[in-house]
Amino acid sequence: MGEIYDNILSIRPIGILEKDGLVYDASLFGNVVGRIDEEGFIYNHTINTPIGKVDTNGLVYDYSKGNFPIGYVDKNGFIYDSAFGVEPIGKIHGNDIFKSGAAYLLLLRK
């Protein structure tokens, strides 16, 4: 399970990634917003085809934006947006750091 925070100082998570790969949005009364499979493919809750992928290095790809990473997650759980890259935009607590970071970038980010 991974808790997803939208900035490094937040005390309340905006989302949760469960062990089964389901991603819940804490601000929407716990509704499922998508899922991430074992291979790192990311699915929106309404679409059965992948919308993106996270690789084993923490790079996150959004298929609608081409073949370049839109962000990455480091091994300490900090989430970065490729457009800015210098300062973290979010933080992960728990397991599955890379998948949780991808959930933030593709499913939870407003």
Mean pLDDT over all residues of the chain? 91
C-alpha span between 1 and 17 (Å, rounded): 5
C-alpha span between 78 and 9 (Å, rounded): 12
Confidence at residue 67, expressed as pLDDT on a 0 to 100 scale:
86
Confidence at residue 66, expressed as pLDDT on a 0 to 100 scale:
87
Residue numbers of the domain that contains 45? 2-108
Confidence at residue 13, expressed as pLDDT on a 0 to 100 scale:
93
pTM of the entire structure? Answer: 0.88
Confidence at residue 109, expressed as pLDDT on a 0 to 100 scale:
85
Is pLDDT above 80 for 84? no
19 Ramachandran zone, left/alpha/beta (phi>0; psi -120 to 50): alpha
> What is the total count of domains within the chain?
1
How big is the chain, counted in residues? 110
Strands 31-36 and 78-81: unpaired
How confident is residue 7, by pLDDT bands cut at 50, 70 and 90?
confident
